[in-house]
Structure 1
Amino acid sequence: MFIIVRHGNTFEADEQPRRIGARTDLPLTAKGKEQARALGACFAARGWRFGRMLVSPLLRTRQTAEAILAHMPSAPQVETADFLREVDHGPDENLPEEAVVARIGKEALNAWEHGAEVPPGWVAEPEARIAAWRDLFTAEPASDQPTLLVTSNGAARFALLADPHLHKAAKALPSLKLPTGGYGIVARNGQQQLVLQAWGERP
């Protein structure tokens, strides 16, 4: 089983959100830290003990991971995985949403949110990311315990394109987006097919 987590909030409630990607390494806000602790408490209550933990190199994801691990009696060594790093928003990096829409248009943004089609000027390396997710899903697991992945919104969506069963399930979702402090669950059924059990859940 794979638990895919998006980091907590990086903007204060009274602050205008912006497109923050790979080049802007923001810490979690107080609310973001609360979200991360809530994830840890939720996972502990469900009895999950992780056999492997992969984390983006960005600070906001590392802080989220640390808060989750604080609820675990024992935890694996954290592995940094660059394919989990947020995408580079190019000329839209650090801009408010209305400025992004003004440049690329609503259609391009919708194609990103619903089909992971990379907008012009962004750097996402979709083929490499999909291949990394596929390798993870097909590798022989080191244990029967779940794998925890802590990442960003832009990177998480490519998990759903790495397997035909997940891709089919993703088409029924309102969006590929994970909310801040949210998570998804990918598991295997009796036929060893990947199944999307949840996407966008919050504690």
Structure 2
Amino acid sequence: MFIIVRHGNTFETGELPRRIGSRTDLPLTAQGREQGQALGRHFAAQGIRFARAFVSPLLRTRQTADAILAHQPAPAARAETAGFLREIDHGPDENEAEDTILARIGKDALAAWDTRAIPPPGWQVDPEARLSAWRGLFAGETDAGGPVLLVTSNGAARFALLADRGLAEGARAASTLKLPTGGYGMIGRGEAGALELQGWGIRP
């Protein structure tokens, strides 16, 4: 089982949200830290004990993972850094407000990113490398010996759904590939061993 978590909030209530990516390493807000704690309590209540945990190199993902793992029975899995989980680089739109970005790329380009993971002009993504990394992770699932936690960002998480044909079919039923902050998706295996999307965009 793979549980893919998007980090908690990085903007205070009332603060204008911006597109932050790999070049903007913000910490969690108080609300974001509570989202991490809520996730930790949620998984613990379900009896989920993570065999391995992976995070991106960014502070916001590590803080979220630490909050989740604090609720695991000792000894808990230790968060390992995985470069492919790092948020994308938004190029000229990094740290810009949504209205500014829409004025530059248009609604259709943003919709293509949110529904099909097609990068807008100027964004640095490398979709093939990200897809390959997710496929490698899925192929090595048996090495973990139990559920795997992955804490990442919105731009990186979506490629998990496109790395497998069955997952992509499940994703088409959703209106977006995005995960909400403090939300998660769950990928398991069916009786025949095929990957199955068991939930996406879940918040405790």
State if a TM-score over 0.5 links the two structures.
Answer: yes
Do 2:115 and 2:175's aligned partners in 1 also have CA atoms closer than 8 Å? yes
Q: Which runs of 5+ in 1 are unaligned?
A: none
Structure 1 counterpart of 2:160, one-letter code: A
1:43 aligned to 2:43?
A: yes
In structure 1, how many angstroms separate the alpha carbons of the residues matched to 2:141 and 2:83?
Answer: 21
Do 1:51 and 1:142's aligned partners in 2 also have CA atoms closer than 8 Å? no
Q: Give the total of aligned pairs.
A: 203
Match of 2:128 in 1: 127
Equivalent pairs: percent with the same residue? 66
Match of 1:69 in 2: 69
Within-5 A mapping of 1:26-37: 26-37=26-37
Question: TM-score with structure 2 length normalisation?
Answer: 0.98
In structure 2, how many angstroms separate the alpha carbons of the residues matched to 1:144 and 1:190?
Answer: 18
TM superposition shift of 1:142: 2.3
Structure 1 stretches of 4+ moved >2 Å: none
Match of 2:142 in 1: 141
Match of 2:90 in 1: 89
Do 2:55 and 2:85's aligned partners in 1 also have CA atoms closer than 8 Å? yes
Question: TM-score with structure 1 length normalisation?
Answer: 0.98
TM superposition shift of 1:140: 4.6
Q: Name the Cα RMSD after superposition.
A: 0.8
TM superposition shift of 1:125: 1.0
Q: Which runs of 5+ in 2 are unaligned?
A: none
In structure 1, how many angstroms separate the alpha carbons of the residues matched to 2:125 and 2:143?
Answer: 29
In structure 1, how many angstroms separate the alpha carbons of the residues matched to 2:27 and 2:120?
Answer: 26
Do 2:183 and 2:201's aligned partners in 1 also have CA atoms closer than 8 Å? yes
1:159 aligned to 2:166?
A: no
CA deviations over 1:41-88 (Å, ceiling 9, x no partner): 000000000111110010000000000011011212221001000000
Do 2:62 and 2:79's aligned partners in 1 also have CA atoms closer than 8 Å? no
